[in-house]
């Protein structure tokens, strides 16, 4: 018997107003798994997410009523996130599933409610990306002093709430398990993020290399562009984001580099089916897109590190480069082009991370709670 059907479940998500990426794809999977669940989030944009989330009852924090320009800049909401998170409505639920990379895993639990934290990462600004996160945002000494003091208080809050025994941690990768142990001193199991695995593609590899990504600075797409500029290799970049205009200006005049903008799921699968390789120049904690790429027979050209060391097999599904330099990316492409890639073997590796595996493991944890 599926015990979770008889529980009142609340799913928490940090923000549903700007980014629609890998974390949101996990949320959609959770909502399909638990169709009767309610959703709570700090800020919600119904115009952007209503089609996927609107059939559920969505609850928000009081941050929802702030001006739009503030809600679209989460870093400006930092002084208010503790209060807003602590007042998210969790009363009356048997289980709370907090799919979080920041704050909502710290929501207060009432009565006998328990929480399963599906952790993308401990809050990076507080922990492993501090103080770089501050340096990237401001050099003003007064602002730096204020933010440093604020982050110190948030770090204590984040740590002590995470010690509560009725909050159980599950991580998206072994990388995050180690981070949870380091910063929270809590154990965590791994349930890899779900990936929809299509059938093996049988089309020609005639489109050159590709990138499918949110176009944001942290994705380091600039490195890929510079590595392909001045070469005969083709690079197709699919996706949109705040860094698009700058990246297009950088590539201006390079006829071998093409921007497609945001594309449909069908077009994405066709692109990966025809790509010579998938370029990935940043360190990710898991990385859904590279798994999709190898499922469709496109080997991954990737910077060594992060979750890809768990999902990829060097020489069988990926060619790694060790330093984020133009020369290293080009050398990795040279090595990839000299290999024979077994498409069936790549597809079998991708199937280890298929959606059904995630669903079975996650539902088992919820039923145990």
| CATH number corresponding to 3-194+354-368 | 3.40.50.2000
Q: Which residues contact 96 (CB under 8 A, 6 or more apart)?
A: 9, 10, 11, 12, 90, 107, 109, 113, 114, 115, 116
Q: What is the pLDDT of residue 22?
A: 83
Helices assigned H by DSSP within the chain: 22-33, 46-53, 68-71, 81-86, 132-137, 141-161, 174-184, 221-228, 244-251, 265-274, 288-295, 308-311, 326-338, 343-351, 355-368
Q: What is the pLDDT of residue 206?
A: 85
pLDDT beneath 50, residues of the chain: 1
Is the peptide bond between 131 and the residue preceding it cis, with omega within 30 degrees of 0?
Answer: yes
Q: Do domains 3-194+354-368 and 209-351 have the same CATH topology?
A: yes
Pick the CATH number of 209-351 from 3.40.50.2000, 3.40.630.30, 3.30.70.870, 3.10.590.10: 3.40.50.2000
Q: How many CB atoms lie within 10 A of CB 333?
A: 21
Q: What is the pLDDT of residue 3?
A: 56
Q: What is the pLDDT of residue 340?
A: 94
How do the domains of the chain map onto residue ranges? 3-194+354-368, 209-351
CA end-to-end span of the chain = 15
Q: What is the pLDDT of residue 5?
A: 59
Q: What is the pLDDT of residue 85?
A: 97
């Amino acid at each position: 018997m599926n015990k979770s059907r008889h529980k009142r479940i609340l799913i928490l998500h940090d923000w549903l107003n700007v980014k629609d990426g890998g974390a949101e794809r996990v949320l959609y999977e959770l909502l399909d798994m638990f169709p009767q669940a309610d959703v709570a989030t700090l800020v919600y944009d119904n115009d952007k997410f209503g089609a996927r989330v609107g059939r559920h009852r969505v609850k928000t924090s009081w941050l929802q009523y702030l001006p739009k320009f503030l809600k679209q800049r989460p870093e400006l909401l930092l002084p208010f996130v503790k209060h807003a998170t602590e007042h998210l409505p969790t009363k009356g639920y048997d289980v709370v599933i907090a799919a979080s990379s920041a704050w909502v895993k710290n929501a207060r639990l009432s009565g006998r409610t328990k929480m399963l934290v599906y952790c993308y990462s401990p809050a990076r600004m507080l922990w492993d990306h501090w103080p770089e996160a501050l340096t990237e945002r401001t050099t003003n000494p007064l602002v730096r002093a204020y933010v440093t003091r604020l982050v110190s208080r948030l770090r204590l809050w984040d740590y002590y709430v995470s010690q509560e025994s009725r909050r159980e941690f599950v991580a998206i990768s072994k990388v995050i398990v180690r981070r949870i142990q380091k910063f929270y001193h809590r154990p965590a199991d791994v349930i890899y993020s779900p990936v929809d695995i299509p059938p093996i593609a049988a089309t020609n590899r005639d489109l050159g290399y590709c990138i499918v990504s949110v176009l944001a600075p942290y994705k380091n797409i600039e490195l890929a562009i510079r590595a392909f500029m001045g070469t005969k290799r083709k690079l197709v970049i699919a996706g949109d984001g705040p860094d698009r205009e700058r990246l297009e200006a950088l590539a201006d005049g390079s006829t071998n580099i093409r921007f497609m903008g945001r594309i449909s799921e069908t077009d994405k699968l066709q692109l990966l089916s025809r790509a010579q390789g998938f370029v990935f120049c940043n360190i990710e904690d898991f990385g859904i897109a590279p798994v999709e790429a190898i499922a469709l027979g496109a080997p991954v050209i990737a910077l060594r590190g992060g979750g890809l060391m768990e999902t990829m097999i060097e020489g069988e599904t990926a060619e790694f480069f060790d330093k984020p330099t133009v020369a290293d990316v080009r050398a990795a492409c040279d090595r990839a082009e000299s290999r024979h890639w077994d498409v069936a073997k790549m597809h079998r590796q991708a199937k280890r991370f298929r959606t059904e595996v995630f669903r079975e493991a996650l539902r088992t944890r919820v039923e145990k709670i």
